[in-house]
Amino acid sequence: QVQLVESGGGSVQPGGSLRLSCAASGIIDQYYTIGWFHQAPGKERVGVSTVTNSDGDTFYSMSAKGRFTISLDVAKNTAYLQMDRLTPEDTGVYFCAFSSLLPLIGEMRPSEYKYWGQGIQVTVAS
């Protein structure tokens, strides 16, 4: 069992920044993938970014590329998502998810992740 706790959400004006954290605890595989997902109001959950601890590979959705940065503190089993130049379209609930190391770098299918955090609200508005 793996527990995930997200933090760092909130409200920000367009163009602003937020940093989300996802702390993993419990029985953690030697190698794993952590993904961040975004669920806008009334829409499906979609992948934003992924990171692995095997060699630090990262992947970004087209929407996140150039604006968001994912990182991993391996010692703390904590992933971060630095979100810059936020727009109202980034509003929604952000979830982090955990899986044993996935074969596909940049796996964006929610069904491939076994453990999920509770989600954290991000609101971008004037």
| Distance of alpha carbon 97 from alpha carbon 3, whole angstroms | 10
- Average pLDDT of the segment spanning 52-77: 94
How far apart (Å, rounded) are the C-alpha atoms in residues 33 and 50? 7
Query: What is the rounded average pLDDT of the residues 64-75?
Result: 96
| pLDDT higher than 90, residue 29 | no
Residue 56 has pLDDT above 90, yes or no: no
Predicted confidence at residue 19, as pLDDT, reads 98
Report the Cα 37 to chain-centroid distance in Å.
5
CA–chain centroid gap for 124, Å, is: 17
